[in-house]
Structure 1
Amino acid sequence: MDSEVLVAGETLVDFIPDAPGPLAGVESFSRRPGGAPANVAVGLARLDRTPWFCSAVATDPFGEFLASTLDEEGIPDRFVVRDPDRQTALAFVSHGTDADREFTFYRSDTADVHLDTSVVDDATLESVEVVAVGGVSLSVEPARSATFDLVERARARGCLVLFDPNYRPELWHDDPGPVIRRMLARTDVLKVSDEDLSGPGLPSDPSGLLDAVDDAVFLTEGGAGARLLADDGSPWGAGEWRHGGFRVDDVVDTTGAGDAFTAGIIAGLVDGDAPEDLLAFANAVAAASTTSRGAVTALPDRDAVARIRER
Structure 2
Amino acid sequence: MVDVVACGELLIDFTPVQEKEKPGSVAFEQNPGGAPANVLVALSRFGKRTSFIGAVGNDVFGRFLQQTLIRQNIGTDGLVLTEEAPTTLAFVHLDETGDRSFHFYRNPGADMMLREEDVNEALIAQAAIFHFGTLSLTHEPARSATWKAVAYAKKHQRLLSFDPNIRASLWADLEEAKVMTLKGMAQADIVKLSEEELAFLKGSEDVVEATKSMLAQYDLQAVFVTLGEKGCFYRTRNQFGTVGGFPVTAVDTTGAGDAFVGALLNQLLEARERMLDIPQVKLEDMVRFANAAGALTTTKTGAIPAMPTQDEVKSFMEAAR
- Do Structure 1 and Structure 2 share a fold, with TM-score over 0.5? yes
Measured in 1, the distance between the counterparts of 2:298 and 2:195 equals 18
Contact 2:85 2:113 in 1 (8 A): no
CA distance in 1, matches of 2:61, 2:158: 33
The corresponding residue for 1:173 is 172
Q: Is the 8 A contact 1:117 1:146 kept in 2?
A: yes
Alignment correspondent of 1:294:
302
Q: Secondary structure at 1:191's aligned position in 2? A: strand
Specify the alignment match of 2:255 in structure 1: 256
> 1:62 aligned to 2:68?
no
2:194 matches 1:189: no
- Candidates 272, 275, 288, aligned match of 1:280: 288
* Amino acid across the alignment from 1:228: Y
Matches within 5 A, 1:62-141: 62-116=61-115, 118-141=117-140
The answer to whether the 8 A contact 2:121-2:149 is kept is no
**Contact 2:116/2:144, CA 8 A, preserved across alignment:** no
Partner SS for 1:167: coil
Which segment is superposed worse, 108-117 or 190-199?
108-117
Residue-by-residue CA offset, 1:167-203 (whole Å, 9 max, x unaligned): 111101232222222111111111001121232x446
Contact persistence 2:198–2:225 (CA under 8 A): no
CA contact (8 A) 2:115 2:144 kept: no
- Partner SS, residue 129 of structure 1: strand
Q: Within 2, Cα distance between the matches of 1:203 and 1:26?
A: 40
Cα deviation per residue 1:92-118 (whole Å; 9 max; x = unaligned)? 111110110110111112210012354
Q: Which residue of 1 aligns with 2:275?
A: none
The code of the aligned residue for 1:170 comes to S
Verify: 1:11 aligned to 2:49, yes or no. no
Distance 1:150 1:202, change over 3 A: farther
1:84 shift after superposition: 2.6
TM superposition shift of 1:73: 0.9
Aligned partner of residue 111 in structure 2, secondary structure: helix
- Deviation, 1:45, is 0.6
CA contact (8 A) 1:131 1:154 kept: yes
Q: How many residues align?
A: 298
Q: Deviations over 1:104-153 (max 9, x none)?
A: 11111221001235444433333322110011111111111111111122
The secondary structure found in structure 2 opposite 1:147 is: helix
Q: Percent same amino acid among aligned pairs?
A: 39
Q: Is the 8 A contact 2:4 2:129 kept in 1?
A: yes
Q: Contact 1:287/1:308 (CA < 8 Å) preserved in 2?
A: no
Query: 2-side partners of 1:68 and 1:290: how far apart?
Result: 24
Contact 2:84 2:113 in 1 (8 A): no
The one-character-per-residue Cα deviations of 1:221-276 (angstroms, maximum 9, x if unpaired) are 01110122001xxxxxx21132101122x322111101110101111121127312
Residue 240 of structure 2 aligns with an amino acid whose one-letter code is E
Contact preservation (8 Å) 2:98, 2:250: yes
Partner SS state of residue 182, structure 1: helix
- Residue aligned with 2:302, SS: coil
RMSD of equivalent CA atoms? 1.8
Give the superposition deviation at 1:282: 0.6
Query: How far apart, in 1, do the equivalents of 2:97 and 2:104 lie?
Result: 22
Q: Counterparts of 1:154 and 1:99 in 2: how far apart (Å)? A: 36
Contact preservation (8 Å) 2:125, 2:152? no
How far apart are the structure 2 equivalents of 1:161 and 1:146? 16
- The answer to whether the 8 A contact 1:118-1:150 is kept is no
TM-fit CA distance, 1:301: 0.7
Note closer, same or farther for the CA distance 1:157–1:125 as it changes in structure 2 (3 Å cut): same
What does residue 274 of structure 2 align with? Answer: none
Structure 2 unaligned regions, length at least 5: 205-209, 272-277
Is the 2:6–2:132 Cα contact (8 Å) retained in structure 1? yes
Aligned residue for 1:235? Answer: none
TM normalised by structure 1 equals 0.91
How big is each residue's C-alpha offset from its partner over 1:45-80, in whole Å with a ceiling of 9 and x where there is no partner?
A: 111113121111211111111111111111111111
Alpha-carbon offset, residue 26 of structure 1: 5.2
The runs of 4+ residues in structure 1 deviating greater than 6 Å are none
What SS does the aligned partner of 2:296 have?
helix
Counterpart position of 1:241: 241
Aligned-residue offset at 1:19: 3.9
Q: Are the equivalent residues in 1 in contact too, given 2:124–2:149 (CA < 8 A)?
A: no
Structure 2 distance, partners of 1:65, 1:259, is: 21
